[in-house]
């Protein structure tokens, strides 16, 4: 069973309406204009799509931050690039990042929800989260942790109903591997340093991961890829930013040996 996991491609563009200067979007637009657009090579996302189409995994997982400010034009840009993947037979799972669900402006929320449906191939909508899906003998638990927040915070929040949903699922007998898909890392070992970027409300779910009731956590948000795993490959994989570092994770699950193996893909 093979998973390809990518994240944080951060397409960007200008403010799409004057109200953007009154909400958080101006921060994201400014950040994109003077910093992000020089750091993120959108051509790498194109290469990622080609790699996934060639490799034909059992599922492609994207853990969000496809955009910089969650505006319709940014989603339209990335949609064009991801279209061949969406039209392929490869199952896909997607959760939005904090940059995709950036503000409560109606047209932005609508664009995010449309992108969500597109990326999950119409299987379920944003409002259906949290949800569990069985793909190729693996149980995927898909949760939203991204909500619009104030100008300086990039924190996420796993709401109580989502945490309880995961706890209920994990209280049942485990008959197949369980993988949780979210935007933020569950394991936080620098809580003070990362106080503006961390995930809140995740403690009970983190315990399930550490107790191996959940086998893997797939996340993004942090742009450098890393893994915090044991000798069986169980733990947390952060894919990093595909457009900043050209990185993706290719994860194989060997049912007979009951182990996960990670291969880091570096796109040239
Ligand atoms: Fe990001
Ligand atoms: Fe993020």
| Res 152: pLDDT | 87
3-state SS class at 9: coil
Query: What is the Cα–Cα distance from 8 to 15, expressed in whole angstroms?
Result: 20
Write the CATH number of the domain with boundaries 2-266: 3.60.21.10
State the ligand closest to the CA atom of 224.
1
C-alpha distances out from residue 127 to 158, 167, 182, 215, 221, Å = 15, 19, 15, 25, 21
C-alpha of residue 196 to centroid of ligand 2, in Å? 11
Q: What is the pLDDT along the chain (268 residues), one digit of tens a residue?
A: 999 999 999 999 999 999 998 899 999 999 999 999 999 999 999 999 999 999 999 999 999 999 999 999 999 999 999 999 999 999 999 999 999 999 999 999 999 999 999 999 999 999 999 999 999 999 999 999 999 998 888 999 999 999 999 999 999 999 999 999 999 999 998 877 788 899 999 999 999 999 999 999 999 999 999 999 999 999 999 999 999 999 999 999 999 999 999 999 999 8
CA 166 to ligand 2 center in whole angstroms: 22
Question: What is the predicted pLDDT for the residue at 136?
Answer: 96
Q: How far apart are CA 256 and CA 39, in angstroms?
A: 42
Ligand number with the minimum distance to the CA of 156: 2
Residue 265 Cα to ligand 2 middle (Å): 21
Nearest ligand atom owner, CA of 197? 2
Residues 6+ apart with CB under 8 A from 152: 196
Nearest Cα to Cα of residue 53 among 26, 28, 7, 87: 87
Expressed in angstroms and rounded, the spacing between residue 90 Cα and the centre of ligand 2 is 25
Ranges of each domain in the chain: 2-266
Burial degree of 159 (CB within 10 A; 0-12, 13-18, 19+): middle
Residues with CB under 5 A from ligand 1 (ion): 8, 65
């Amino acid at each position: 069973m093979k998973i390809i996991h990518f994240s944080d491609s951060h397409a960007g563009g200008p403010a799409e309406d004057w109200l953007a200067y009154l909400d958080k979007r101006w921060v994201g637009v400014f950040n994109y204009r003077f910093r992000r657009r020089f750091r993120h090579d959108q051509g790498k996302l194109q290469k990622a799509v080609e790699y996934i189409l060639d490799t034909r995994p059992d599922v492609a997982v994207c853990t969000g931050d496809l955009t910089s400010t969650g505006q319709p034009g940014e989603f339209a840009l990335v949609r064009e690039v991801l279209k061949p993947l969406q039209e392929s037979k490869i199952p896909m799972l997607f959760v939005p990042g904090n940059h995709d669900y950036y503000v409560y402006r109606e047209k932005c929320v609508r664009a995010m929800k449309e992108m969500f449906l597109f990326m999950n191939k119409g299987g379920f909508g944003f409002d259906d989260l949290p949800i569990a899906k069985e793909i190729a003998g693996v149980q995927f638990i898909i949760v939203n942790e991204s909500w619009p927040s104030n100008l300086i915070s990039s924190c996420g929040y796993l709401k109580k109903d989502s945490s309880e949903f995961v706890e209920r699922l994990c209280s049942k007998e485990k008959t197949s591997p369980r993988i949780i898909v979210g935007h933020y890392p569950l394991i936080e070992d620098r809580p003070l340093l990362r106080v503006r970027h961390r995930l809140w409300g995740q403690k009970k779910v983190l315990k399930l991961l550490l107790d191996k009731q959940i086998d893997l956590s797939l996340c993004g948000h942090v742009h450098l890829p890393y893994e915090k795993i044991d000798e069986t490959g169980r733990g947390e994989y952060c894919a990093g930013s595909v457009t900043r570092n050209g990185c993706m994770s290719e994860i194989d699950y060997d049912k007979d040996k009951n182990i996960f193996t990670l291969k880091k893909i570096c796109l040239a």
